[in-house]
């Protein structure tokens, strides 16, 4: 029996400009990644940018995903704020619904949802918020996948409600000993060396054991790897990472309904 081909999804956060303000290297990134997380207007993005980004994804065969965040444009959705389960559910429905409208109008469909920034971390660690996020996505029907951290409250809630879940890893962020991302302000939290980023990505894909800031190793099983678009030369780094993965015999494709 032939060995099953190893696959991984590469995703990037895109569409995060606003009005006349551009942000990131979306056009170049969308030539490399297999899935895109499009800002839906709360932390970033606006109707014009959402429409154009959807169109670019369809032109390039990139899977369309919604990237809903907290209603905090000034803080780019990265500051935690008080939120009830009802708040979280309504924010998810409002933002994902808006992106679905643009996707349908362009002849496509939203394939996945990945919460942004503080909403991602808040719902990953809070069972009540995770439940609200999952129920909201589940209520939208279809074959939507949820992207989130492995071994998180989001994963537990998704599995409990039968929502497809793609566990996400990071090539350009270091991990803490508990398997969570190291805080952005911690020394060594950002991986800037392309070879180190590729090494971490290969470790995530092949065995899920990655080094941590504390010197230990964390065991993680992932189906998709995020490439941040807000770092210097993000598109070049992404292309190098994709080239390195393919050279190692790893195919880059969007995840299916049950992850990989």
Q: Is residue 128 part of a domain?
A: yes
Q: Residue 258: what pLDDT?
A: 56
Q: Is residue 258 part of a domain?
A: no
Q: Is residue 81 part of a domain?
A: yes
Q: Residue 233: what pLDDT?
A: 82
Q: Is residue 134 part of a domain?
A: yes
Q: Residue 15: what pLDDT?
A: 95
Place of tokens 């790897």: 225
Q: Is residue 179 part of a domain?
A: yes
Q: Distance between CA 37 and CA 141 in Å, rounded?
A: 19
Q: Is residue 115 part of a domain?
A: yes
Q: Residue 228: what pLDDT?
A: 80
Tens of pLDDT, residue by residue over 129-146, are: 999 999 999 999 878 999
Place of tokens 């409990």: 160
Residue 196's domain comprises: 6-252
Q: Residue 4: what pLDDT?
A: 64
Residue of 197, 155, 154 whose CA lies nearest to 174: 197
Q: Is residue 63 part of a domain?
A: yes
- Residues 158, 39, 208, 151, Cα dihedral to 10°: -30
CATH classification of the domain holding 76: 3.20.20.370
**Residues in the chain with pLDDT values less than 50:** 1-2, 260
Q: Residue 3: what pLDDT?
A: 52
Q: What is the number of structural domains in the chain?
A: 1
Q: Distance between CA 181 and CA 121 in Å, rounded?
A: 10
Q: Is residue 104 part of a domain?
A: yes
């Amino acid at each position: 029996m032939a060995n099953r081909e190893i696959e991984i999804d590469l995703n990037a956060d895109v569409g995060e400009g606003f009005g006349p303000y551009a942000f990131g290297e979306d056009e170049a990134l969308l030539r490399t990644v297999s899935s895109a997380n499009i800002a839906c207007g709360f932390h970033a993005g606006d109707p014009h940018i959402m429409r154009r980004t959807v169109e670019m994804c369809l032109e390039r065969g990139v899977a369309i995903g919604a990237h809903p965040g907290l209603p905090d444009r000034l803080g780019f959705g990265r500051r935690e704020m008080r939120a009830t389960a009802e708040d979280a559910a309504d924010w998810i429905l409002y933002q994902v619904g808006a992106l679905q409208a643009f996707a349908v109008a362009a002849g496509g469909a939203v394939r996945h949802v990945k919460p942004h920034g503080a909403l991602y971390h808040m719902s990953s660690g809070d069972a009540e918020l995770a439940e609200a996020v999952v129920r909201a996505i589940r209520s939208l029907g279809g074959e939507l996948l949820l992207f989130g951290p492995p071994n998180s409250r989001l994963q537990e809630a998704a599995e409990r409600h039968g929502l497809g879940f793609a566990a996400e890893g990071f090539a350009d962020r270091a991990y803490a000993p508990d398997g969570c991302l190291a805080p952005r302000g911690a020394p060594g939290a950002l991986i800037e060396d392309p070879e180190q980023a590729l090494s971490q990505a290969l470790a995530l894909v092949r065995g899920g054991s990655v080094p941590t800031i504390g010197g230990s190793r964390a065991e993680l099983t992932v189906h998709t790897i995020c490439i941040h678009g807000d770092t210097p030369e993000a598109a070049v780094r992404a292309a190098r990472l994709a080239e390195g993965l393919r050279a190692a015999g790893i195919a880059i494709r969007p995840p299916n309904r049950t992850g990989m």
